[in-house]
Amino acid sequence: MRVGVVFPQTELAGDPGAVRAYGQQVEEFGYTHILAYDHVVGADPAVHPGWNGPYDVDTTFHEPLVMFGYLAGITHSVELVTGVIILPQRQTALVAKQAAEVDLLSNGRLRLGVGIGWNAVEYEALGENFTDRGKRSAEQIELLRRLWQERSVTFDGTYHVVTGAGLAPLPVQRPIPVWIGSASAAGFRRAGRLADGWFPMMAPGPQLEEARAVVAQAAIGAGRDPAAIGMEGRVTWRGDDDAARRELAAWAEAGASHVSINTMGAGLTTVDEHLAVLGRLAPAQQ
């Protein structure tokens, strides 16, 4: 099982020095990947009465692919993972181009995790349709893979038209791995049909097994081997190292191919505090 980390961007106030320190140190600790997730804009609760989302206009987020372009130049081996970007609120060909560039600059270290999101305010700001986002995401994945592999693409889909166009340069990985994050049965089915891996939004246990069964059934229906689909769990540190180690063991027992340690939400206020926890939990210390 490959053990990575979740970049704690909501707690680091957008500090570029923290990006450098964090990226280089977690690689030195022996973590296999850095995962960052995505919000482009936040909603202002004063304008949206009753707002109850986990993030708002004051929550800091680096743009993951731009940040990974920076990390590509200052790290050597750590995998760079979007976990997840909200694919249907972004233009597909532009995502393909940005991802190809990160993959090229990092020498093939990008894993593109995608999801459909929950924030209609963000979709509106980006000029995309919130209501058909699930269906569009499936077509987007198909088009992304073609753009990453073919010199010239002609594509006539329900939501996209490309006529004799392509990316140059192409990425190192052809195609870049696409993983899906979801908390719904429809998302689990998309992962089974289309994804190289998936991010469960639950802990090991009966609920996870039910979700895995949905993924596996969809994979078999699409003529795929469920065993070839990766699964990345999440361990959230809440001040107890031993509890975090037990969660890591539970994910290994559940058959996860990857897991990420999340140190957000535990009252840590500096990059050094986050790194101190990750140093104690590092793979070399287990």
Task: DSSP for 153-217, please give it.
Answer: EEEE-SS-EEEEE--SSPPSSSSPPEEEEESSHHHHHHHHHH-SEEEESS-TTHHHHHHHHHHHH
The predicted-structure confidence for 126-177, as pLDDT tens digits, reads as follows 999 999 999 999 999 999 999 999 999 999 999 999 999 999 999 999 999 9
Q: Mean pLDDT of all residues in the chain?
A: 96
How would residue 286 be classed by pLDDT, with cut points 50, 70 and 90? low
Give the whole-angstrom CA distance, residue 220 versus residue 51.
40
**Phi, psi for residue 144 in degrees, rounded to 5:** -55, -50
Q: Which two tokens stand for residue 22?
A: 């964090």
Q: What residues contact residue 168 under an 8 Å CB cut-off, 6+ apart?
A: 151
Q: pTM of the predicted model, to two decimals?
A: 0.96
158-164-169 Cα angle (round to 5): 110
- Compute CA distances 211 → 64, 134, 184, 219, 275, whole Å: 27, 18, 9, 12, 32
Residue 88, pLDDT score:
97
Percent share of the chain, pLDDT over 90? 96
pLDDT-derived band at 14, boundaries 50, 70, 90: confident
Dist. CA 69–CA 98, nearest whole Å = 9
Q: How many helices (H) and strands (E) does the chain have?
A: 9, 10
Condensed to tens digits (0 to 9), the pLDDT of residues 101-122 reads 999 999 999 999 999 999 999 9
Nearest 5°: phi and psi at 281?
A: -95, 5
Rounded to whole angstroms, the Cα distance separating 46 from 25 reads 39
Q: Which two tokens stand for residue 73?
A: 């130049």
Alpha carbons 168 and 120: distance in angstroms, whole number: 33
Rounded Cα distance between 180 and 178, Å, is 7
